[in-house]
Amino acid sequence: MPLVRIDIRKHKDPTFAKRVGQHVFAALQSAMNVPDHDLFQVLAEHDAEHMIYDPQYLGIHRTDGIIFVQITLSEGRTVEQKKSLYQTLAKSLEHDLHVRQEDVFINLVEVKKENWSFGNGIAQYATS
């Protein structure tokens, strides 16, 4: 049930953001057992004035090719699953889309299951 937000600088390839999203979904399936059809993503491209980042924070040298991936998901994944997600995604983006691993910024936001409504005004995963 992840909701994924992907933010990139405007790219010359109009399919680039969608292809990043495909890699994110594949990594979620591989590392966190996200089921088929559980695909909800918001893809956004920004001009230089609207993508602000520190190019050297924590000694990681970032470029304007930075990709922000924020994933909101239900709590309960292990640290090992999270680390696997980070590695799987960074490596696949580097291998297939030539994105530097240093430019892959991932943030997980964990929420309780009752914090989701997938439609119809119903909390489908609420237990009470």
- Report the alpha-carbon distance of residue 22 to residue 24 in Å, rounded: 5
- Report the alpha-carbon distance of residue 85 to residue 50 in Å, rounded: 27
**What's the Cα-to-Cα distance from 68 to each of 11, 61, 107, 122, 123, rounded to whole Å?**
14, 15, 8, 30, 28
- 17, two tokens: 């953001």
- Report the alpha-carbon distance of residue 30 to residue 52 in Å, rounded: 30
55 is catalytic: no
Dihedral in degrees, nearest 10, Cα atoms 32, 74, 50, 62: -40
> Which residues are catalytically annotated?
2
